[in-house]
Amino acid sequence: MSLSSKYFNVAAVFAATFVFAQSVFVGAGFTQPIFDDEAFPKPRQALSTDLDGDGTPDRVLVYALNRSFDILSYELGYGGGDFGEREAFIVPVNLSDFDSLALLPNGNVTLTWGCFACGRYHTHISLTLRLDQDRLQVIGYDQYYADRIYAAVFSCSVNLITGKAVVEADDIEQVLLTTPERATHLQDYRFESTPKACDALRKYDDAFMEEHFGDER
């Protein structure tokens, strides 16, 4: 089963969105739910930034949906505290020790999910998002994990505009690669996918760990 970040022209009750989350997960298609402000719960996190560059603050928000999914939405500001209709995406739940949303110096936003102390690893994945012609676009991908046995940290960072990637074993090596994937709109993004360049992380197996981090055990 796969999860794609189905896009909605937001307008429906939060309970209806729950049904959509389950249907998306099994690959069904549907129409848009409606977000009613009175019925909608408070966001778990909210950021203010100028997504469309018009000088008026916009909002990016994350809501808790269930044990598996969150909802990411954004609202374009009209000034005076007024905001336009939301667009919303069903995204993986964030169980990491990082905030779901972070604001970058250039005004772009990162969406993060992952899991803290889940078995052997701490893991988190971040997408860099920007608004492109009134649609959220995924322009960057970052994957990090820490091996709790060997106290080792590994990462894969991909610029989806240029296709350039960096795979790194912290304090050991840094490898420069390219990947065929390019920027895509969030509505088309598949959260279970990984850029091909990040397959290079597989080389950091137990034999590599023992050779380079064995003294850390």
pLDDT digits (tens, 9 = 90+) for 122-154: 999 999 999 998 899 999 999 999 999 998 999
Task: Please check whether residue 1 lies inside any domain of the structure.
Answer: no
User: Is residue 28 exposed (0-12), middle (13-18) or buried (19+ Cβ within 10 Å)?
Assistant: exposed
Global model pTM greater than 0.85: no
Task: Please check whether residue 159 lies inside any domain of the structure.
Answer: yes
Task: Please check whether residue 2 lies inside any domain of the structure.
Answer: no
DSSP 187: G
DSSP 57: -
Task: Please check whether residue 12 lies inside any domain of the structure.
Answer: yes
Residue 31 has pLDDT above 60, yes or no: no
**Contact status, residue 111 vs residue 126, Cβ threshold 8 Å:** yes
Could you tell me the two tokens for 150? Answer: 């060997």
**Contact status, residue 125 vs residue 112, Cβ threshold 8 Å:** yes
Question: Which range of residues forms the domain containing residue 110?
Answer: 7-216
pLDDT digits (tens, 9 = 90+) for 44-75: 999 999 999 999 999 999 998 888 889 999 99
Task: Please check whether residue 39 lies inside any domain of the structure.
Answer: yes
Task: Please check whether residue 60 lies inside any domain of the structure.
Answer: yes
Count structural domains, the chain. 1
